[in-house]
Amino acid sequence: MAIIFMSFGARRFARRYATAAVALAESMNNPFAVGFAFFGLGWLDSSEGLLEDAVLHLQKSAAAYREAGDLHSWGAPTIFLSQWVLCPLGDLSFARTLASELVRISQDTGDPQLATWGYSCLGCVALTCEPLDETSATLAKARDLALQISAY
């Protein structure tokens, strides 16, 4: 709901809802709920330019999903943090580390979505500090993997 409120410009409602969702999820002591709630709050933070808060909330989301053993869901806050928060903050080293971890875990789990996210972020980082041909090859890997993923 927080993301829907945010989409319609009702940021105050979105913040209230996201904060309440985190409190409820934490009181339930359910790592899936905690991961989802912190992901929504981190998304909201980043959309409002509160990037340092977004880093904290997205890391909490990723940690909760990892605690739950849900590595696919762990990938969502990890790619969002890496590509849409750390890159704009200029923390390319940490962004590259997270993206490489996405690729490594995708190889361990056989999850092509994680690999797509990881290569996409590695390409984003490469745009700022790598030769264009290497960047193009990395982004082509992400594209090729994405095209192989079924929509259902």
Residue 152's pLDDT is: 67
Per-residue CA distances from 60 to 33, 45, 50, 123 (Å): 12, 13, 16, 25
Share of the chain above pLDDT 90, in %: 88
In angstroms, what is the C-alpha Rg of the chain? 16
Give the residue-averaged pLDDT of 2-6: 82
pLDDT tens digits, one per residue of 33-58: 999 999 999 999 999 999 999 999 99
pLDDT tens digits, one per residue of 65-118: 999 999 999 999 999 999 999 999 999 999 999 999 999 999 999 999 999 999
